[in-house]
Amino acid sequence: MVGIFMTPGKFITFEGGEGAGKSTQAELLRERLGALGIRTILTREPGGSPFAEEIRHLLLDPRHKERSPLADALLFYAARHDHLTRTIGPALEAGNWLVSDRFSDSTRAYQGAAGGVSGDILETLEKWVVGDRRPDLTYILDMPPELGLKRAEERRGHDAVDGFENLDLDFHKRLRQGFLDIAKAEPERCFVIDANRDIDAIASEIWRICEKRLIPEAVTK
Ligand code: T5A
């Protein structure tokens, strides 16, 4: 069953590699839902609650280069637990919609498919922290990693690169494949979006899918 956060609100996630345009599209979707009168909160991972934002600083600190993908996975799930408990759960129960810039699929793709942490370990963490719940809808923004990394670099300017952007191209290729494999395994939930197009074309496709999948349900309730 899709959408097993059994709450009045809907939970939508954006996933994909570096610079694929997730933040841009998440904000545009939030605006469109808001224009329909649907109360929508934009959130992100790692982060989304005060304690999880502290963990985000630690995870993205470019000084901590030498660490294992398993250590990262444990921290991402620690942050996710706080995010779920403090932000996502209460907001959905109050009837809000949530749009999250990244969620569990990022751990499966970054630390799992690309980083080499075993699927068994990640499944166990997922069960403990998230349970059987899944987002109602997930967009996977897909593009060649070379282009996404270039976009992220242009946007960043002279700021220090974070530890994940800095990993080699093979890592980012495995990452892309990891996201595509997730989409293939869960076609009811995941929609792969060609992110190598202009912002408006991508936003239109995202909106069409959201309207078809979730809006009629919300309007008839
Ligand atoms: N991570 C995260 C894990 O390893 N495991 C996990 O479990 C989780 C949750 C988070 C890092 O943590 C890793 C993944 C990440 O490495 P972050 O800073 O939040 O760090 O990184 P990203 O989520 O990758 O965010 P980015 O900002 O790099 O990418 P976005 O959000 O995909 O892209 P966006 O929208 O900011 O756009 C980037 C630039 O491109 C332009 C934008 O204006 C912007 O300048 N742009 C476009 N340009 C041309 N055409 C388009 N269609 C464009 N769309 C956007």
2 pLDDT above the threshold of 60: no
If you measure from the C-alpha of residue 95 to the centroid of ligand 1, how many angstroms do you get, rounded to a whole number? Answer: 28
Kindly report the protein residue whose alpha carbon is nearest to atom 37 of ligand 1: 21
The residues facing 43 across adjacent strands are: 100
- Walk me through the domains of the chain, giving residue ranges and CATH numbers: 4-220 (3.40.50.300)
Any ligand 1 atom below 6 A from CB of 102: yes
Whether the Cβ atoms of residue 15 and residue 143 lie closer than 8 Å to each other: no
Per-residue model confidence (pLDDT) at position 153: 82
Whether the Cβ atoms of residue 99 and residue 214 lie closer than 8 Å to each other: no
Per-residue model confidence (pLDDT) at position 217: 62
Per-residue model confidence (pLDDT) at position 113: 98
The minimum-distance atom of ligand 1 relative to the CA of 103 is 9
**pLDDT of 165-208, one tens digit each?**
777 899 999 999 999 999 999 999 999 999 999 999 999 999 99
Kindly report the protein residue whose alpha carbon is nearest to atom 13 of ligand 1: 164
Whether the Cβ atoms of residue 172 and residue 17 lie closer than 8 Å to each other: yes
Whole-model pTM above 0.85? yes
**pLDDT of 92-113, one tens digit each?**
999 999 999 999 999 999 999 9
Query: Cα separation of 87 and 41, whole Å?
Result: 10
